[in-house]
Structure 1
Amino acid sequence: MRLPTVAAALACLVALVARACAASGPTLSCCLSVSDTVVPRRRVSDYRVQNAALCPVRTVVFLTTSGKTVCSDPEKKWVKRAIRWVNNKRAKMGGSLQTTGRPKTNREKPRNKGKKRMRQRKQKTN
Structure 2
Amino acid sequence: MNEKESIQEMRQKLNKIAWQKEQSDKEKLSYDFIAMYSGYLITKAEEKIKLQERVDGIMQEYIALKNLHNISVKASDMTTKENQRYKQALEFYADEGNYVLWNSMVNSQTEIEKDKGKKARQSLRGDE
Q: TM-score, normalised by structure 1?
A: 0.29
> Larger % of helix: which?
2
Q: TM-score, normalised by structure 2?
A: 0.29
